[in-house]
Structure 1
């Protein structure tokens, strides 16, 4: 069976803000709502990393609020990283000054892209679903940012499982805010063909990674060749990269 190797990246970019230690959440909290600091320089560093991949899933990308100087960060990264196709899903506002989105950057043309709000106790989470190729055998790529609370994650994962349950070639990536063996994750493995990761790569916090909470999950027919974490400028998450072998028929 002919296969094509794709390079994927999932990155929570923290809207181009800098966090290098836990104390920064308090002392640099202004950077999450105000257009100060070297956010453009941070984005350029992220674009350099992203541009080495075929498909990139972004979380906490600002869609163009005061915080980003009204720059749509997903669009900016697409231009700087050399991506012909991009899409974003604004899903959270922060104090009327900032906004956050999931984003897709792709060098392959998707056949369609849909955004879905996720359930949860607090609104503002979503999943961005892109299809490549045609029909049931096509490749489905979902990008999500899940809640901090286990009960909300459970309902969100149930929703995502319904979206992906009949896809033999699917990828789910993003910031899950939980380890892959958490109880709420089991329904995802039971109701879809997505597999638990063969190995866990710690991504949080970026300055001393201890928790594997960012994931790239694939269905059984998609073989993961390599998986590694990289610094995404000074986000509090490391970016997670994977090389995945995809059947050519899934991209036609």
Structure 2
């Protein structure tokens, strides 16, 4: 008869130990909660009409977000600075641009900065008739092994334009395996505008703090929506003195969790 040795080697791997250690490693790498900001930087021209990308960088340093969606970003050209390149260097973040207006003299549009690697990006053309070109920047971000899809946009000034643009965006959101964050300047002045009603129907009602104009905000032009909706846990406006001067919009800050 063979006797069983009931002593246990402290270094031995017991059933389930490997799984437990893998789970602990995964928990240690969880990026949540994640802070996301959407910010219309007005070409980095402040309320004093001075071009000052350093002031935008200072506001971003105050916020200390993980992902930053920007609108009205100068992206270079013979007559324009590359503000995105400046901000990427100042923050040390990964960056990607979504050009909506392009000429040899000036590139302009949306952008995303991310503490985590941006593994893919796509441009969504939201131009409407003869109105100013508009678009969305659709970026996949690898947050420590957790993929997050961030769509940064700046919608048009007419109601009909915004309605069509929202429909185009919603048509692109069929990614059930990946959470989606839609952020940007929606240019929706009316609380019950049809574009907003459509977004509420697709996502759900979310807080909408006032962000424009920055000195004394009276409109909630900047918005954040998350799918699944339960992952959005907090929305606030960054209202420091620096933020009130750096742009005509205040940054909108959201926190999402697992």
Q: Are the equivalent residues in 2 in contact too, given 1:232–1:239 (CA < 8 A)?
A: no
1:173 aligns with 2:166: no
Give per-residue Cα distances to partners, 1:109-140, cap 9 Å, x unaligned: 13311111113131410000012359xx9422
Instruction: Select the residue among 21, 32, 37 that pairs with 1:9.
Output: 37
Residues in 1 aligned to 2:229 and 2:154: alpha-carbon distance in whole angstroms? 24
Residues in 1 aligned to 2:79 and 2:217: alpha-carbon distance in whole angstroms? 27
Residues in 2 aligned to 1:80 and 1:97: alpha-carbon distance in whole angstroms? 24
Ranges of 4+ aligned residues in structure 1 off by more than 3 Å? 65-68, 96-99, 165-168
TM-score by length of 1: 0.77
Pairing of 1:218-229 with structure 2 (within 5 A): 218-229=226-237
Number of the residue aligned with 1:150? 159
Number of the residue aligned with 1:48? 61
Shift of 1:186: 2.6
Residues in 2 aligned to 1:203 and 1:88: alpha-carbon distance in whole angstroms? 23
DSSP-derived class of the 2:246 partner: coil
Shift of 1:82: 2.1
1:184 aligns with 2:199: no
DSSP-derived class of the 1:164 partner: coil
1:77 aligns with 2:87: yes
List runs of 5+ in structure 1 lacking aligned partners.
21-27, 29-36, 247-252
Alpha carbons of 1:149 and 1:214: their partners in 2 closer, same or farther (altered >3 Å)? same
List runs of 5+ in structure 2 lacking aligned partners.
1-22
- The size of the alignment, in residue pairs, is 221
Shift of 1:104: 0.5
Shift of 1:38: 4.4
Number of the residue aligned with 2:138? 129
Residues in 2 aligned to 1:227 and 1:221: alpha-carbon distance in whole angstroms? 13
Number of the residue aligned with 1:216? 224
Shift of 1:151: 0.2
Give per-residue Cα distances to partners, 1:20-75, cap 9 Å, x unaligned: 6xxxxxxx5xxxxxxxx34243343244246x11100000010013554xx32112
CA-atom RMSD in angstroms:
2.7
Q: Are the equivalent residues in 1 in contact too, given 2:155–2:165 (CA < 8 A)?
A: yes
Residues in 1 aligned to 2:197 and 2:62: alpha-carbon distance in whole angstroms? 32
Structure with higher Rg: it is 2
